[in-house]
Structure 1
Amino acid sequence: MPAHPAASPAASASPAGPLDEETADAPSYDRRRAWLITAMIVTFMVINFADKAVLGLAAVPIMDDLHISHSTYGLIASSFFLLFSVSGLVVGFLSDRISSRALLFVMTLTWAVAQLPVLVVAAVPTLIAGRVLLGAAEGPAASMSMHALYKWYPAHRRGLPSALQISGAALGTLISAPVLTWLITEHGWRYAYGALAAVSAVWALVWWRIGHDGPYDEARPARPGKQAPLTARLPYRRILLTGTVLGSISSAFGASWALALSQAWLPSYLRTELGMSAGAAASTISIVSAFSLVLLLAVSPLMDALKSRGVTSRWSSGATQGIAVCVAGCAMAAFPFADGNPLRLLLIGLAFGTVAVAIPLHYMTAAEVVPTAQRGAVFGIVAATGTLPGLVAPSLTGHLVDAADSTASGYTAAFLVTAVVMVLTGLLAVVCIRPERDAQRLEPAGPRP
């Protein structure tokens, strides 16, 4: 690991006020290098979501070429999540011992390797093996890339970089869908896998050269007369039971439930219940994604501006994420009963688009009370928890639709269940997230890094 910039010396020998001491203790902020790392991590997330999308984009030619049923294809698709949560959790706990540079390098090389089996033998076993390996390597991707990003920014500058990292998901879908579809159509689906393998390998090599860990990865040196920064590890039970971490996990859970429902069932709902064509349904989903992207890029810089003006994290980022999930939950409960498609589509946009706000903000609030050395592990726990709705929401929705008297009433029941989950988790986030209070409660074992 490279040496980190030293803390800035005191401006003068005269007694410094609290603000001067904080500035003097802080590591140097390298704006140019920080934004270079941000660009690399956004690209990392774009590749990540392109890898996720390729199987779905190639579903029809894969089923035709290999003569497999829809249920077999579903098994291949589900195999991606077999090790996803486990790997996210394990790598999170390893992140305080292994540099982010090495972790992201190994992950991305593994993505490249995971695409190769079908280039040698195109068969169901190789597809499953590749997806299982890819899921294991992508489980930690979001949390570990956010952890790496945070090492380059002080807490009050993390809003926009966090939003850009999360926006890589939307950009990945927007960029990869037409490119991969062209490759699949013109050259065959194996070429799309090969292209992703090459792109992942190139990113890994560039990252290994420039992706060093940032200066906010280690504790600041103590000033004379000041208590030494926290170096000892806190019990994870103590960290995870703070209201801020629980509230952050809660908002992420509610948002993830809506996102899982959107990915699995929203296209079907738009086509079967609203009578849309496949193209119109795809356009609607694209508009919802664009709305999410605009919110991500607008809200997080606003959070930074509020904090710079003295607004506490409880209100600037804590309450904001909880309210966003609650608003989306209320829209989720309302749109099945809305009269007319324009109003219903507006509510659908609010229900599935607004929750994106919670994704970067829940990382920001959790990071404010977690010791730097243990941040990656806690992010891994949060990421593993966030995948649980992906295992529950789609299957529960299918059960409710099948068990209902009509398809429409089944969807309505599923959306109402989702709304209840979202409103409850959003309210819990509003009540529990208090970073300033919880940071003080953890300080008897040592001050925050």
Structure 2
Amino acid sequence: MVSSKLSAPPASAAAPGTESRRKAWSLTALLVVLYVVNYGDKAAFGIIAQSLKDELDISASQIGLVGSLFFFAFTVGGFFAGALNKWLSLRTVLIVLAIVWAFAMLPMVFAATFGVLVVSRMLLGFAEGPSSALIHTATYSWHTPAKRGFPGALLASAASISKIALAPLLAYFSVTFGWRSALITMAVLGVVWCFFWTRHWEVGPYIPAKATKNSVDPDEEPRVPWRRILLTRTFISGAFLVASIYALVTVVLTWLPSYFEVGLGYSRLQSGSMLAIPSVAGLVSLIGGTLLSDRLLAKGWSSRLVRIVAPSICVVLGGGILFFLPSISSSPGAVAIVSIGYGVGVVVLPLCNAAISEICPPRQTAGTLGIFLALMAIGGLIGPYVTGLIVDAAATPGLGYATAFQTLGLASALGAVLTLIFADPDRDKDLVRGRAPQRY
């Protein structure tokens, strides 16, 4: 029995189509947990924002500036995803990044000043920047291109899972034991994840982290000049769209508990816990939309229709719903508008990522997604700070937050219209590989 076990090839050496699907989904789940921790780090800042504002005596625009500086560092870090994937194995690079996240939580626990807050959040952002592309690459290594919508949705749903599972816990700890307890909790969770990662991770057969004799033959998908990928209309219009949606996601993470507390009148504990409400809508949208998209692709529907047209229409609808937020006077009604507008639009994130992964050769997936997700993070650079400025300038905080969400809805709807006009993964996949595009 021992000899048979030792002689069996590792899962990562299996030919595509022969790998263990149980192993594939188990490791996908492990990566989703890492992404949940990743978003928990972001959500923790939103939950303790008002406590920091009170203790450090800072303004809403300063809180927004810290949020945007985090995403500035996040954007810069994202451009290193391809290089890190080339220099280090996925096993090594993700454990290093996760440890940095954990320790980046701690400076504010021991020295709470505005300067320390800025530096610790920027360190966290820089370390989290490459992780999005690397986590997607690791996940995609276990799934064929035609079936990446649902795994991608599980990753995208990590933001919702974090706000549903972690936000109420962090809010309770923050109110009961002080805001520092939320940061300590996230640091501990990051270290615990590293233990499971080192014991169980294996790379899958579809996007090898490094070339080996058992990898997919790179000659079948030769590398192409980066400009050929990055200048496609799918990449450019898709980047604008996901940046506008990500601005909404980051404003929800940074500001939604504050909106519920000072804008709608809920208590601090209620506001932190209610961060889960939009996430439920987002989770339903993500899981349902991507399951349907993968099924339609399997039936022969075009990638443009499934991964571009349908989710872009959802974004237009979500933006239209958010447009009415300033005119809603009821607090429960405002919560419902934000939740539905947010939930309808976020389905575009995993589907657009999957579409981008289609147009590039497998060995350039990490680099392509790293650049794409770094450009996406520009939305996070802009959204929180602009929201803080709008709130400081508004007649009331509630009106300021509502106006900010309305503006974000309009921006995302515009991005969706541009993507509807210009994006076509099937066409651009042919162009990237130097083939004449077919008529789809």
**1:136-285, aligned counterparts within 5 Å?**
136-184=126-174, 187-218=177-208, 220-221=216-217, 228-231=219-222, 233-267=223-257, 285=275
Q: Residues 142 and 116 (structure 1 numbering): CA distance in 2 closer, same or farther, change over 3 Å?
A: same
Aligned AA (2:41): D
Contact map agreement 1:96 1:374 (CA 8 A) in 2? no
Match of residue 338 from structure 2: 348
Structure 1 vs Structure 2 CA RMSD = 3.4
Distance in 1, matches of 2:404 and 2:249, equals 14
Give the one of 60, 65, 70 matched to 1:80.
70
Find the aligned partners of 2:75 and 2:304 in 1 and give their Cα distance: 29
Question: What amino acid does structure 1 have at the position aligned with 2:216?
Answer: R
Contact 2:321 2:341 in 1 (8 A): yes
The match for 1:89 among 66, 79, 83 is 79
- Whichever residue aligns with residue 160 of structure 2, its letter is A
Q: How many residues align?
A: 420
Structure 1 Cα separation of the partners of residues 112 and 333 of structure 2:
46
Of 347, 356, 368, the residue aligned with 1:366 is: 356
In structure 1, distance between residues paired with 2:194 and 2:89: 14
Change (3 A) 1:76 1:306: closer
Partner of 1:324: 314
Matches within 5 A, 1:34-53: 34-53=24-43
Contact 1:267 1:281 in 2 (8 A): yes
Q: Deviations over 1:53-79 (max 9, x none)?
A: 334444566677xx5322497376665
Structure with more contact order per residue of length (Cα contacts < 8 Å, sep ≥ 6): 2
Question: Of residues 284, 291, 302 in structure 2, which corresponds to 1:294?
Answer: 284
CA distance in 1, matches of 2:329, 2:184: 48
Correspondent of 1:68 among 53, 56, 64: 56
- The CA deviation string for residues 308-339 of structure 1, in whole angstroms up to 9 with x for no partner, is 11111111111122111111122222343468
Distance 1:295 1:442, change over 3 A: same
Can you list the C-alpha shifts for 1:65-98, whole angstroms capped at 9, x where unaligned?
A: xx53224973766653452211111223432443
Alpha-carbon spacing, 1:180–1:275, altered in 2? closer, same or farther (3 Å): closer
Aligned to 2:93: 103
Partner amino acid, structure 1, of 2:277: I
* TM superposition shift of 1:355: 1.4
For 1:120 and 1:214, the matched residues in 2 are separated by: 41
Equivalent position amino acid for 2:43 in 1: A
For the residue of structure 2 that corresponds to 1:95, the secondary structure is helix
Q: Compared with structure 1, are the counterparts of its residues 204 and 325 closer, same or farther at alpha carbon in structure 2 (3 Å cutoff)?
A: same
Measure how far apart 1:286 and its partner are: 2.9
Q: For 1:311, what is the secondary structure of its paired residue?
A: coil
- Within the candidate set 364, 382, 386, 2:372 is matched to 382
Which position in structure 1 is the counterpart of 2:211?
none
Normalized against structure 1, the TM-score is what?
0.81
Give secondary structure in 2 for the equivalent of 1:29.
coil
Quick check: 1:96–1:376 contact (8 Å CA) kept in 2? no
8 Å contact kept, 1:254–1:325: no
> Contact 1:245–1:365 at 8 Å: present in 2 too?
no
Aligned to 1:309: 299
Q: Name the amino acid aligned to 1:237.
A: R
Shift of 1:99: 2.3
Contact 2:318 2:344 in 1 (8 A): yes
- Indicate conservation of the 8 Å contact 1:170/1:289, yes or no: yes
- Which residue matches 1:433? 423
Which position in structure 2 is the counterpart of 1:18?
none
CA distance in 2, matches of 1:392, 1:167: 22
Distance 1:302 1:215 in 2: 25
Same amino acid, percent of matched pairs: 32
Asked if structure 2 preserves the Cα contact closer than 8 Å seen for 1:28 and 1:215, the reply is: no
Give, in whole Å, the separation in 2 of the partners of 1:415 and 1:120: 35
Q: Which runs of 5+ in 1 are unaligned?
A: 8-25, 223-227
* Deviation for aligned residue 1:259: 2.3
CA distance in 1, matches of 2:390, 2:24: 47
Moved more, 335-344 or 99-108: 335-344
Partner letter of residue 5 of structure 1?
A
User: What is the TM-score when the length of structure 2 is the normalising length?
Assistant: 0.82
Q: Does 1:113 align with 2:103?
A: yes
Does structure 1 retain, via aligned residues, the 8 Å contact 2:49–2:258? no
Q: 1:206 Cα deviation (Å)? A: 2.0
Partner of 1:11: none
Matched residue SS, 1:249: helix
Give, in angstroms, the shift of residue 362 of structure 1: 1.0
The question of whether the paired residues in 2 share the 8 Å contact of 1:247 and 1:432 is answered with: yes
Which is worse superposed, 190-199 or 284-293?
190-199
Q: How far apart in 1 are the matches of 2:396 and 2:115?
A: 38
